[in-house]
């Protein structure tokens, strides 16, 4: 299953069907909110949160129903494909919840979800990746009712909620919210947090099947990687978006990816890398591209790569290439790159940034074997240049 179809199943289809159940044009709402047909790369982080929030705001205006978000969670497992098999075959609601926390970014890239277990209750914290617009309360209405409905389908029982901390202000008529959540509601809270009784979390799932759980979880993990690429690739793409604004921060990148900083570190560690290594490799590749093109001076490249001071870029060049930026630019495009990972999604992002900075139409490409840099430049007309393997490398002394 490709990433587009997974995106459709994960969130587009659910929103469209939910809006249409209430007599609204779901496709038109998503189109007007700017999230109807964008590519998966463009639908990450805060921009997607803003689009989903706008879709709910438009839906409330067109329907005249401020409680609209409470009425859309009709079939919460239907669009989740293999993930529905994972949660249904888990042994307990607690195991099912852990699975949901791990894989929610696969199907809802704008949502953050965390769980904390206490002796008498479990705290489920729902949020959205920060964007430029405030999150409308209708989004929390929708996601909390999705959680409640999903629990009822998986366990066959209604979850015993002790309290809901609700970020929205208390409405003129709070009864629809009290009826939907079935517990005490603290309006105007700092975050959306559901307190679930421990007995509900420990409840066994009637359809539990260890063999199916193991198999379907493995498929869900593979689907997650196909959806977004490996974590390091996703990190590279997000870094490219913010490099021009200064030094990328790990916690900020984690937030853009809809996960905690700790989760990001763990997933990168699973891929035998870390945030600093991913950032360093990406900067090195972009430095090669900019210096090979020859249109920018070292100071301009310094800030394009997010370094705070040119001296930091000079030291990085000595470490990467064994020479200073000025010496490299004068060496006739004879960089000898070390083998580095360059996923296609990240290379595409680099090319988009380069085009935006006026680097021309043609950019570097790395072969799968030797990763040798090819560069097209203007010199007596367009001609293809490639480093001569017999040419000596820059002096590292």
Segment 239-244 long-range contacts (CB within 8 Å, at least 24 positions apart)? 239/278, 239/279, 239/282, 240/282, 240/286, 240/346, 240/349, 240/350, 240/352, 240/353, 241/349, 242/306, 243/283, 243/286, 243/304, 243/305, 243/306, 243/353, 244/303, 244/304, 244/306, 244/353
Is residue 217 in some structural domain? no
The average confidence (pLDDT) of the chain is 77
Q: Return the higher-pLDDT residue of 353 and 189.
A: 189
Mean pLDDT of 232-239: 82
Is residue 96 in some structural domain? yes
The residue from 201, 216, 249 where one domain ends is: 201
Q: What is the DSSP pairing of strand 161-166 with strand 184-187? A: parallel
Pair 267, 145 in one domain: no
Pair 296, 157 in one domain: no
Is residue 60 in some structural domain? yes
Give the per-residue pLDDT at 225: 63
Is residue 178 in some structural domain? yes
Confidence of residue 48 (pLDDT cuts 50, 70, 90): confident
Rg of the chain taking only CA atoms, in angstroms: 25
Asked whether 238 and 224 are in contact (CB, 8 A), the reply is no
Q: Return the higher-pLDDT residue of 242 and 388.
A: 242
pLDDT above 70 (res 13) = yes
The residue from 181, 201, 221 where one domain ends is: 201
Give the per-residue pLDDT at 229: 53
Is residue 98 in some structural domain? yes
Pair 56, 181 in one domain: yes
The model's pTM is 0.60
* 92: DSSP letter: B
DSSP bridge pairs for 122: 117, 196
Distance (Å, whole) CA 391 – CA 146: 62
Pair 269, 307 in one domain: yes
Pair 165, 276 in one domain: no
Confidence of residue 94 (pLDDT cuts 50, 70, 90): very high
Pair 238, 288 in one domain: yes
Pair 291, 345 in one domain: yes
pLDDT above 70 (res 244) = yes
What CATH number has the domain bearing residue 353?
A: 1.10.10.60
pLDDT tens for 295-347 read 778 888 898 899 988 899 999 988 888 788 888 777 654 444 333 333 333 33
Pair 84, 233 in one domain: no
Distance (Å, whole) CA 155 – CA 93: 7
Confidence of residue 228 (pLDDT cuts 50, 70, 90): low
Distance (Å, whole) CA 124 – CA 115: 5
Give the per-residue pLDDT at 74: 73
Domain range for residue 193? 3-201
pLDDT tens for 147-178 read 999 999 999 999 999 999 999 999 999 999 99
The residue from 157, 186, 201 where one domain ends is: 201
| Closest by Cα among 204, 350, 231 to 283 | 350
Pair 269, 187 in one domain: no
Tell me the percentage of the chain whose pLDDT exceeds 90.
38
Give the per-residue pLDDT at 41: 46
Pair 169, 247 in one domain: no
CA 180 to chain centre: 30
Tell me the percentage of the chain whose pLDDT exceeds 70.
74
Give the per-residue pLDDT at 319: 86
Distance (Å, whole) CA 52 – CA 68: 14
Pair 64, 147 in one domain: yes
The number of domains in the chain is: 2
pLDDT tens for 361-392 read 333 333 333 332 233 333 333 333 333 333 34
Is residue 9 in some structural domain? yes
pLDDT above 80 (res 188) = yes
Is residue 360 in some structural domain? yes
Confidence of residue 45 (pLDDT cuts 50, 70, 90): low
Is residue 250 in some structural domain? yes
Tell me which of 59-63, 197-201, 310-314, 326-330 is least confident.
Answer: 326-330
Tell me which of 2-6, 75-79, 200-204 is least confident.
Answer: 2-6
Confidence of residue 393 (pLDDT cuts 50, 70, 90): very low
pLDDT above 50 (res 198) = yes
Q: Return the higher-pLDDT residue of 397 and 258.
A: 258
Give the per-residue pLDDT at 55: 97
Distance (Å, whole) CA 129 – CA 110: 5
């Amino acid at each position: 299953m490709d990433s587009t179809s997974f995106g459709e199943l994960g969130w587009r289809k659910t929103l469209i069907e939910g809006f249409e159940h209430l007599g609204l044009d779901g496709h038109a709402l998503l189109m007007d909110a700017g999230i109807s047909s964008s590519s998966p790369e463009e639908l990450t982080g805060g921009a997607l949160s803003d689009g989903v929030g706008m879709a709910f705001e438009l839906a409330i205006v067109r329907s005249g129903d401020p409680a609209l978000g409470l009425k859309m969670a009709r079939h919460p497992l239907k669009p989740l494909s293999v993930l529905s098999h994972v949660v249904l075959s888990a042994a307990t609601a607690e195991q099912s919840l852990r699975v949901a926390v791990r894989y929610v970014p696969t199907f809802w890239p704008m949502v953050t979800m965390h769980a904390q277990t206490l002796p008498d209750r479990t705290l489920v914290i729902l949020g959205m990746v920060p964007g430029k617009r405030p999150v409308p309360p209708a989004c929390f209405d929708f996601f909390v009712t999705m959680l409640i409905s999903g629990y009822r389908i998986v366990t066959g029982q209604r979850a015993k909620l002790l309290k809901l901390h609700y970020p929205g202000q208390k409405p003129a008529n709070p009864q629809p919210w009290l009826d939907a959540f079935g517990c005490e509601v603290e309006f105007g809270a700092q975050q959306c947090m559901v307190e679930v009784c421990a007995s509900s979390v420990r409840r066994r799932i009637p359809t539990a099947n260890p063999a199916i759980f193991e198999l379907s979880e493995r498929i869900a993990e593979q689907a997650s990687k196909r959806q977004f690429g490996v974590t390091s690739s996703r990190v590279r793409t997000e870094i490219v978006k913010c490099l021009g604004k200064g030094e990328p921060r790990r916690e900020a990148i984690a937030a853009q990816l809809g996960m905690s900083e700790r989760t990001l570190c763990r997933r990168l560690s699973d891929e035998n890398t870390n945030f600093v290594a991913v950032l360093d490799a990406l900067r090195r590749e972009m430095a090669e591209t900019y210096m090979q093109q020859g249109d920018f001076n070292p100071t301009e490249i310094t800030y394009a790569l997010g370094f705070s001071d040119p001296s930091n870029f000079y030291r990085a060049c000595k470490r990467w290439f064994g020479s200073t930026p000025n010496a490299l630019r004068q060496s006739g495009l004879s960089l000898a790159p070390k083998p580095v990972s360059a996923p296609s999604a990240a290379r595409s992002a680099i090319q988009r940034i380069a085009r935006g900075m006026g680097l021309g139409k043609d950019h570097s490409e790395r072969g799968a074997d030797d990763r040798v840099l090819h560069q097209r430049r203007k010199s007596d007309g367009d001609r293809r240049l490639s480093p001569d393997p017999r040419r000596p490398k820059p002096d590292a002394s």
